[in-house]
C-alpha cells in the first residue's frame, strides 16, 4: 500500500509485480488507516506488516511461520531488528518502563516482550479482527504499542525468536527517531504523536488502581519536561504542539478513551 502514490512507483509495481494487489490513496491517511485498509483486503491466515524501509532475512518468513505454529495461543510475533547501515542489533522487541516508554530488549533468550514495532509485525488475521486492528484516531506512532498491550491484556503472547531478523532504516518512512552525529533526530509531528498516543495507550490499557497514581505522575513529569525544554530552547512551538497538545487531546478524546478503556478492561485476561 502506498499513500500518496508516486506515479513511477505505481507503474513499476504494476509492471513487475502484477500478482500483487495494490491499494493506492490520493492522500496520506496515516499508518493506522492504511494498514487497516490493507488487512481488510487480506485473505490469508496470517498478516505481516512490513515497512517499506525494512528488509527481511532470507529465512524470515519460514521462521515466523514455524514460531506461529508453536504459539499457544497464537499471538503477535516479530524478529530481531538490525540497523540497516551497519548491521548492528537494535533489539529483540521491547520492554516498557512504567510510563510506557519502550526499552530495547537485547537478550536473545527473552522471547516474551511487551511490544514489537509495526515495521515488522506478524499477527493472525483472526486476532487482528478480534482486537479491532489499529485505532484510526491514533493516526500514526504508538499504534503498535497499543496493539501489543491490547493483545497481552487479552491473554495473547507477544514474542520475538532468537533467530533470523530484519534490517530497518529507522525513521526513514516517517521522519525522525534516528541517531545522528549531533544526537537523536526527530520532528515536531513525530514528537506530538508519540507523546499523545503513548498517553492514550496508558489511559486505555493500565489497570484502574495503577492508573490512578501513574497517570497524574506521568502528566506532571511531562508538563515539567515540556516547560523546561521549551524555555531552554526558547521554543514556544515545542510546548504548544507537543506538550500542551497532550492535555488538549486527552480532553478532546475523553469519551472515546473512556469507552475503549471500559471495553478492554472488562475483557482483560492478564494484568501484564
- Reduce the DSSP state of residue 169 to 3 states and report it: coil
**Are both 3 and 58 inside the same structural domain?**
no
- pLDDT, one tens digit per residue, over 29-58 is 889 999 999 999 999 999 999 999 999 999
Task: Using pLDDT thresholds of 50, 70 and 90, give the confidence band for residue 175.
Answer: low
Among 161, 176, 191, where does a domain finish? 176
Give the list of residues 6+ apart from residue 200 with CB closer than 8 angstroms, or none.
135, 138, 142, 146, 249, 250, 253, 257
In terms of residue numbers, what domain contains 23? Answer: 1-30
Alpha helices in 174-207 (DSSP H): 188-205
The CATH number linked to 131 is: 3.90.550.10
**Are both 36 and 170 inside the same structural domain?**
yes
Q: How many domains does the chain divide into?
A: 3
Residue 272 lies in a domain: no
Torsion sign over Cα 117, 92, 115, 147: positive
- pLDDT, one tens digit per residue, over 202-231 is 999 999 889 999 999 999 999 999 999 999
**Are both 38 and 158 inside the same structural domain?**
yes
For residue 118, CA distances in Å to 77, 127, 148 come to: 11, 15, 10
Determine how β-strand 166-168 pairs with β-strand 54-56: antiparallel
Give the global pTM.
Answer: 0.90
**Are both 171 and 236 inside the same structural domain?**
no
Report the 10 Å Cβ neighbour count for 202.
23
Picking from 195, 76, 80, the residue whose alpha carbon sits closest to that of residue 147 is 76
Please determine, for residue 141, whether its predicted confidence score (pLDDT) is greater than 60. yes
d(CA 212, CA 223): 17
**Are both 212 and 81 inside the same structural domain?**
no
**Are both 13 and 107 inside the same structural domain?**
no
Among 143, 176, 209, where does a domain finish? 176
Residue 158 falls in which region: left (phi positive, over 0), alpha (psi -120 to 50) or beta: beta
Report the DSSP beta bridge partners of residue 178: 185
Alpha helices in 102-177 (DSSP H): 125-131, 143-153
Phi and psi angles of residue 24, each rounded to the nearest 5 degrees, phi first: -115, 140
- Residue-level pLDDT at 172: 61
Amino acid at each position: 500500500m502506498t499513500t500518496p502514490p508516486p506515479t513511477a512507483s505505481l507503474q513499476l509495481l504494476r509492471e513487475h509485480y502484477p500478482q500483487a494487489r495494490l491499494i493506492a490513496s490520493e492522500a496520506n491517511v496515516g499508518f493506522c488507516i492504511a494498514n487497516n485498509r490493507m488487512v481488510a483486503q487480506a485473505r490469508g491466515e496470517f498478516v505481516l506488516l512490513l515497512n517499506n524501509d525494512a528488509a527481511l532475512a532470507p529465512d524470515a518468513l519460514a521462521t515466523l511461520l514455524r514460531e506461529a505454529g508453536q504459539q499457544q495461543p497464537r499471538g503477535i510475533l516479530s524478529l530481531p531488528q538490525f540497523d540497516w547501515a551497519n548491521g548492528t542489533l537494535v533489539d529483540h522487541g521491547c520492554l516498557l518502563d512504567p510510563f510506557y516508554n519502550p526499552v530495547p530488549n537485547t537478550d536473545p533468550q527473552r522471547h516474551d516482550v511487551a511490544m514489537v514495532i509495526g515495521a515488522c509485525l506478524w499477527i493472525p488475521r483472526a486476532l487482528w479482527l478480534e482486537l479491532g486492528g489499529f485505532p484510526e484516531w491514533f493516526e500514526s506512532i504508538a499504534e503498535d504499542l497499543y496493539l501489543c498491550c491490547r493483545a497481552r491484556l487479552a491473554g495473547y503472547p507477544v514474542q520475538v525468536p532468537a533467530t533470523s531478523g530484519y534490517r530497518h532504516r529507522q525513521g526513514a518512512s516517517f521522519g525522525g527517531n534516528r541517531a545522528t552525529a549531533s544526537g537523536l533526530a526527530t520532528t515536531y509531528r513525530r514528537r506530538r504523536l508519540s507523546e499523545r498516543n503513548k498517553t492514550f495507550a496508558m489511559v486505555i490499557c493500565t489497570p484502574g488502581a495503577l492508573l490512578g497514581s501513574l497517570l497524574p505522575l506521568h502528566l506532571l513529569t511531562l508538563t515539567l519536561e515540556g516547560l523546561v525544554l521549551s524555555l531552554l530552547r526558547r521554543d514556544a512551538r515545542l510546548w504548544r504542539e507537543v506538550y500542551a497538545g497532550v492535555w488538549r487531546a486527552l480532553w478532546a478524546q475523553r469519551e472515546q478513551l473512556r469507552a475503549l478503556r471500559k471495553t478492554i478492561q472488562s475483557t482483560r485476561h492478564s494484568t501484564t
